[in-house]
Structure 1
Amino acid sequence: MPDDLTIRAAPPLPPEPHGAAASRPAAGDAAAAAPLRPNPSLRIDGALGLVVIEFRDWAGRITGSIPTSQELAAYRHSALPGLTPDDAPPDGRTAP
C-alpha cells in the first residue's frame, strides 16, 4: 500500500474586521471567564478506578455525567471498607 499521507501547514488567519472585537463578550462575562474545554470531557476517578464522562453547558458548569452522580455515590459507598450493618443500603442488600 503506498504511503501518500502528507500534512500541510494551514494558511494564516486573515486580520479581524474592526467590528469583530466589539461583538465578543467582555472580559468580565461568565462565558469569557470560563476556560474553553472539550465537551464532553473525560475525567479519571482514581479512587474508584473509573473514567467519568462529563457534559458541560456554555458557562462550564457540569450538566450531566456518565456514570451519573447518583451512580458515583453508590460506587463510593460500596467501595468503602469496614461498613457496618447500619450503613447497609435501604433495600437490605449488603456491601461487598
Structure 2
Amino acid sequence: MNIEREQIDSWELWNSFRILREHHSQLSIALDISPSLPSANSLGRWFGEPVRAAIIYTNSFLTNAKGYPCLSKCHQQLMSGFFNHSIQVINVQ
C-alpha cells in the first residue's frame, strides 16, 4: 500500500497557532532555513509576520569556485530580505 505523505505548510501551522493565541502582540517566531527552500510566494508570506530570528544551518552553504562557502542565489535573496527587516540570523551546525 502506497500512502502519499502530505507536505506540511509551516505558515499554515503558524497561522493556526497564532489564531489560537488570538494574535497576541508578544507572539513571534524563529524560522529554520533548510538547504531546500519553498517557492518565493511561500517565503514572501513570512515577511508579513513577526519573525524575530532565522536559523540557517551550515549544510545550507555551498562551496564557490574559489573554495569559499556561499549561499545559493535564492538563499542570498532570502537573507537580504531578513536583514532588511532586522531579523536576527543565527548560523548553526
Q: TM-score, normalised by structure 1?
A: 0.25
Which is higher, the Rg of structure 1 or of structure 2? 1
Would you tell me which structure has more helix in proportion to its own residues? Answer: 2
More relative contact order, 1 or 2 (CA 8 Å, 6+ apart): 2
TM-score by length of 2: 0.25
